[in-house]
Amino acid sequence: MDPSCAMLTDKVAIVTGGGAGIGRGIAAGFCAFGARVALFERDEQRAVAAARELAAGGADVLAVPVDVRDGDAVGEAVAATRDRFGRVDVLVNNAGGVFAAPFLDTTEKGWDALHRANLKHIYHCCWHVGRIMVARGGGSIINVVSIEGVRAAPMYATYAAAKAGAINFTKTLALELAPHGVRVNALAPDICVTEGLRDLMTGEALRRAANTVPLGRLGDPADLAGAAVFLASDLSRYLTGETLHVDGGTHASSGWYHHPEDGHYVYGPLSPTNDGEG
């Protein structure tokens, strides 16, 4: 074990949803550690712009416009990646989407849409890339899930169910592919400040949300990138079937959060009598 184990030199990584947000941050992290990266992104302009920006820093990046909800399209995109780079060593299933709705107002169409966006695309990508990794005798698959996959999520029941499915799929696939040297793990963020989140929340709302995080700040894509580099590299060579909660401690906090006035821990809704002792 030495510092070179952290490097991804010459490894080839596919990052879905790689044109923006967490996916873009992970792709940048991979490039910084020497990987060659294929950005799978539904929005072609966003894919090309992200690839151009990363390439300007000297990285070898391929923009692959693809809707990962389409299995045949994923097969073609993976083939294009192999044509360009000759191999695939790392797969990051990051693409996804969410909308809020009470469960009883959720239609079957809405349920199916969220499961296609957050779970079924993982099947498509793992099915195609997993075969390549097994044939090569190794690889690392990283599924970006969510804290909502391990806790109740009112108004997001369908999304949470899909993320919980992805977490269990991670464990099961890890066991199936372990004999072939392929590791499968997951990253579970909570609130991560991306372009999309900034469009939805004001600066004040973001500051209030930071009180829910034990480390005192909201996450950003670079935080996920660091964990992804670890899982893609030989530093994590003995780690498989795990979900890492990259959330500043919110999974551990279980309802404890910082009081917005003095920063001491309180539990549950703020009230004049809540002194943090439960």
Backbone angles phi, psi at 83, to 5 degrees: -60, -40
Residues 139 and 149: their CA atoms lie apart, in Å, by: 25
Q: How far does CA 100 lie from the centroid of its chain?
A: 20
CB atoms within 10 A of CB 252: 10
- Active-site pick, 159, 257, 265, 267: 159
Give yes or no: 159 in active site.
yes
Residues 202 and 115: their CA atoms lie apart, in Å, by: 29
Handedness of CA 152, 213, 231, 130 (dihedral sign): positive
Q: How is the chain split among helix, strand and coil, in percent rounded to 5?
A: 50, 15, 35
CB 120 within 8 A of CB 113: no
Provide the residue type at 135 as one letter: A
**Active site positions, annotated:** 159
